[in-house]
Amino acid sequence: MSIYKLTAASAAVMIAAAGPSLAQSRDNVQVAGSSTVLPYASIVAEAFGENFDYPTPVVESGGSSAGLSRFCEGVGENTIDIANASRPIGESEIETCAQNGVNEIIEVRIGYDGIVFASQIDGPEFTAFKPSDWYLAMASEIPQDGAMVSNPNASWADVNGDLPDVEIAAFIPGTRHGTREVFEEQVLLQGCEDIGAMQSMTEMGMSEDEAEEACMKVRADGAAVDIDGDYTETLARISSNPDGVGVFGLAFYENNTDSLKVATMGGVEPSVETISTGEYPVSRPLYFYIKKAHLGVIPGLKEYAQFFVSDDLAGEGGPLADYGLVPDPELASTQEAVANETVMGNGS
C-alpha cells in the first residue's frame, strides 16, 4: 500500500466530511434535557417521524439543568431548539438566555409526573410514609429542645412507630436532577412545616430563608445516598439492599412493578388517577421550552410541538398517559398557546 494512496484516501474523507458541513442546513428538530421527559419526548418523536414527512427529531438526555444551559447558549442552527425540563425554568436561566440572545421562549407544560417511593419487592412494607417522616429521616440537623442537633434517627421506626424497624437507607436523586428540587420542596420542606420544626427553628432566631435551608439540608452520614445517574442506578442499589428505599418516577415504577414495591404517602398509593386528582401529594409538572426564533427556520419544529400536546398523544388514554404521564387538565389552553406561539413573560 503506498503512502500516497493513503493520503489521497484520507484527504477524500476529510473533504467529504468537512465540505457539506459549511453549506448544509439542519432539517431535523433537536431536543435535549431532562431524563424524566426523555421517554415521553422519544415516544412523541417516533410517532412524529411516522406521521409527518419530517425526519425523526433527535432527543438527547442529560438532565434539566444541562438541557436548559444548552438551550440558553444562543440562537442558531448549532443550538438546540427545545429543552425538556422536569421543573420550571429559573430566573437566572432566563437571564442567561437573554444575555445570549434567546429572548423569546415558549413554555409548554405537557402534564404531570408522580414521584414515588419504592423498596425492594421482598423488602419490608413501607405503608405509612408521611412527608414529616422523610424530613425526620433525611434532615442533617433537627431542632430539639431549643437547639439544632445532628439527626439522631437511625431506623425508620425511630421517626414513626408504624414504619418497619430497619436502618434508614434512602437513595434520593442527586442535585443534578429536577426531581431533587421537588423532593426537597414537596417532601422535606412540607414535612418540616407539618411537624412544626420550621416554626421552632424560626423561634430559635433563624430567618425564614435559613430555616427553609435547614429543612432541606440532607444528612451526609451515609443514610441518604445521592444518585446522580438514572433511575436504573437507583433500582440497582435497591436490588442489592433489601432495606433501601428509593425515589423513582411513576413511569419508571410502572415498568418495573415486578421488582419494586411502592410505598404510600399519606396513605395514598401513587397512580395516574390519584395524582391527577391531587390525592397523592408528590407530583410535579413537566415542561418543554421552545426557542421562538427557531420557529419557521427549523422545519417541523412547530408541528412537533403541536403534535406533542395534541389530544392524540398527551390526552387521556394516549400513548403518553399509557406510559405514565398524568395528563394536564388544562391541555386545551396549552394547545392554544403553542398554536399562537405565546412567549413567556408577556402575561398574554
Partner 1 sequence: MTDATQAGSMVPAKSIISVDDRTKKRHAAEKRFQAYGIAAIATGVFFLIFLLGSILFNGVTAFQQTFIQVPIYLNPMTLDPEGNRDPAEMAKVSTFGYAPILENSMASMIEAQGIETDVEPDGLDALFSSSAAAQLRNRVLSNPDLLGQTIDFNILATSRVDGYFKGRVSRESIARDRSIDAEHLDIVDALREEGSVVKRFNLAFITGSDASESRPEQAGMGVAMMGSLYMMLVVLGLSLPIGVFASIYLEEFAPKNRLTDIIEVNISNLAAVPSIVFGILGLAVFIQFMEFPQSAPLVGGLVLTLMTLPTIIIATRAALQSVPPSIRDAALGVGASKMQSVFHHVLPLAMPGILTGTIIGLAQALGETAPLLLIGMVGYVATNYPDGIASGFMDPNSAMPAQIYEWAKRADPAYYERAWGGIIILLVFLFAMNAIAILLRRKFERRW
Give the binding site for partner 1 (CB under 8 A). Answer: 1, 3, 6-7, 9-10, 12-14, 16-21, 24, 26, 28, 30, 32, 35, 38-39, 41-43, 45-47, 49-51, 55-56, 58-62, 77-78, 80, 229-233, 251-252, 254-258, 271, 312, 319, 322-323
Rank residues 219 and 291 by Cβ distance to partner 1 and give the closer one: 291
Taking the complex as a whole, the smallest distance from the CB of residue 67 to partner 1 amounts, in Å, to 10
CA angle at residue 183 from 179 to 189, to 5 degrees?
Answer: 150
Rank residues 42 and 140 by Cβ distance to partner 1 and give the closer one: 42
Rank residues 45 and 201 by Cβ distance to partner 1 and give the closer one: 45
Residues 180 and 104: their CA atoms lie apart, in Å, by 28
DSSP-based helix, strand, coil % in the chain, nearest 5: 40, 20, 35
Taking the complex as a whole, the smallest distance from the CB of residue 37 to partner 1 amounts, in Å, to 11
Taking the complex as a whole, the smallest distance from the CB of residue 50 to partner 1 amounts, in Å, to 4
Report the sign of the C-alpha dihedral through residues 205, 210, 211, 215, in that order: negative
Place of cell 442489592: 240
Q: Tell me the three cell numbers of residue 91.
A: 430566573
Exposed / middle / buried, residue 176 (Cβ in 10 Å: 0-12, 13-18, 19+): middle
Taking the complex as a whole, the smallest distance from the CB of residue 136 to partner 1 amounts, in Å, to 29
Taking the complex as a whole, the smallest distance from the CB of residue 9 to partner 1 amounts, in Å, to 7
Taking the complex as a whole, the smallest distance from the CB of residue 137 to partner 1 amounts, in Å, to 26
Taking the complex as a whole, the smallest distance from the CB of residue 288 to partner 1 amounts, in Å, to 14
Rank residues 158 and 269 by Cβ distance to partner 1 and give the closer one: 269
Rank residues 207 and 257 by Cβ distance to partner 1 and give the closer one: 257
Name the helix (H) or strand (E) containing 12: helix 3-23
Residue 292's nearest CA partner among 152, 156, 105 is 105
Q: Give the 3-state secondary structure of 22-89.
A: HHCCCCCCEEEECCCCHHHHHHHHHHHHHHCCCCCCEEECCCHHHHHHHHCCCCCCCCCCEEEECCCC
Rank residues 252 and 304 by Cβ distance to partner 1 and give the closer one: 252
Rank residues 174 and 202 by Cβ distance to partner 1 and give the closer one: 174
